[in-house]
Amino acid sequence: MNTILSLNLKHLDSVINHVKALAFNRSFSSTGETKAALYIKNEMNEENIDCQIEYFAFTGAKRIFMRLVYVILFTYLIVFRLLLLLLAYFSIKYLFPPARNFSLVRKIESKNVVANIKATKKQEKRSVVILSAHYDTFSANLPPGVQKVFLFLFRIIIIPYIMFALFIAYFFFFTEGPVVITPLILIFTLIEFAMTTIIFLLVHDNNHSKGSIDNASGVAILIELAKLIKVNPLENYDVIFLWSGAEEWGLKGSKEFCKTHRNYLSKKYDLNRSFNINIDMVGSYIGLETKHSLHLKRREALFDLNKRIEESASELNIPLTVSDKIFGSKADHKSFRSFAKKTKTSFQVALFHSEKDSKFIHSSKDTPDKCDPDNLNGCLEICYSTIRSIDSLSFPLKEIR
């Protein structure tokens, strides 16, 4: 790999040092997550970069699990025709205001860390670069491949059961159901509960993974990118840095960011010339996932983001593995794809993702030594070079006097 042109020795050392500093449990709504968010914010504050922590709440695994328990309990009450108990429950919950928000398991709280660096030229309807990486971790007792199988089984179990419970409700409210079906219903319910309990306990564990590849690598690269751009701001593009929380639980942080800021971003920026680069896993190599990675109206686009990334890697002589996926990886870039659709713009999206390193993630194997410093610095240099090359394009924008 050639010498990294834009980075000095301080940056070269800092990227891997950030990965090492973040090598602890950062699962959602934990003290580790808060510690990681404050680490990122402190790094931004030291460089006088405008940075805020945005809080949000979402439905977590425990809440979903408890809702399953509620469905099972209600099914039992319906089967045994204890409808007065159901009536009493809903009467107490909704007739008395203090009880309306009561829940045995409250919503989970998480946070996004957001930093901003303004363009040097003040222009009307200028463009924006959104650089994103999630900082939370997820640990499991099973390898990633097996996890996917169990989570798939969970989905195909829970959905039919809910439909079955609704059928039972209808069946016993409006018909005279035969008594013989009751034991079958109870047996099915117990099996359902046992299977979902086993899956939940096998998959979920918060203690193993240090989350180095997934995704302290992306967090570290974004921190140093912010420092580089702070010293050398772009002329035509504002830059937003998003370190998202709760990505491992359904891209919650990035979805919340896109939902909360969609109107603001649409009004302030020309999204047809704007783009997102999401960095999710840089380990034993630098991977770029290109399958449907950008929603692009060719007649309006002045550049192709993924091609620009590939060209930058080639010019810098940095190895880049480009993959073409049928379905694509589940990462925060999907939130920005949806953002592009909802805003009906040519907003482009790219994803850095070393998929072959998935054999290490969500386990005790995901340690800092799995992150090659050359790859971390190489990804940083590719992103920096790509952003600056796009910023140098001539856009017919009106400057504010």
Domains and their CATH numbers in the chain: 9-60+108-138+210-391 (3.40.630.10), 63-104+143-203 (no CATH)
d(CA 59, CA 393): 43
Q: Do residues 253 and 333 touch, judged by C-beta distance below 8 A?
A: no
What was the pLDDT predicted at 155? 66
d(CA 95, CA 93): 6
Q: Which residue type, as a one-letter code, is found at position 10?
A: K
Which of the residue ranges 193-202, 250-259, 293-302 would you say has the lowest mean pLDDT? 293-302
From 262, 260, 274, 281, select the one nearest 351 (Cα to Cα): 281
What was the pLDDT predicted at 249? 83
What was the pLDDT predicted at 2? 43
What was the pLDDT predicted at 301? 66
d(CA 29, CA 106): 12
Hey, what are 224's tokens? Answer: 């140093």
Q: Do residues 210 and 367 touch, judged by C-beta distance below 8 A?
A: yes
Q: Quick one: DSSP state of residue 248? A: G
**157 pLDDT more than 90:** no
Query: Would you place residue 254 in the very low, low, confident or very high pLDDT band (cuts 50, 70, 90)?
Result: very high
Hey, what are 378's tokens? Answer: 């190489």
Is 127 or 180 the better-scoring residue by pLDDT? Answer: 127
What was the pLDDT predicted at 253? 95
What was the pLDDT predicted at 281? 97
Alpha-carbon distances, residue 238 vs 22, 133, 140, 258 (angstroms): 27, 18, 38, 17
- Tell me the pLDDT tens digit for each residue of 309-351: 999 999 999 999 999 877 778 899 999 999 999 999 999 999 9
Q: Give the CB-side neighbour count of residue 180, counting CA atoms within 13 A.
A: 0
**99 pLDDT more than 50:** yes
Q: pTM value?
A: 0.80
Q: Do residues 291 and 325 touch, judged by C-beta distance below 8 A?
A: yes
Listed in sequence order, the residues at least 6 apart from 388 whose beta carbon sits closer than 8 Å to its beta carbon are: 234
**274 pLDDT more than 90:** yes
Residue 53's SS3 state is strand
Residue appearing with tokens 């999630």: 134
Listed in sequence order, the residues at least 6 apart from 284 whose beta carbon sits closer than 8 Å to its beta carbon are: 354, 356, 357, 370, 372, 375
CB atoms closer than 10 angstroms to residue 268 = 14
What was the pLDDT predicted at 250? 85
Is 365 or 295 the better-scoring residue by pLDDT? Answer: 365
Taking each helix axis from N to C end, the angle separating 333-343 and 252-268, rounded to the nearest 10 degrees, works out to 40
**15 pLDDT more than 80:** yes
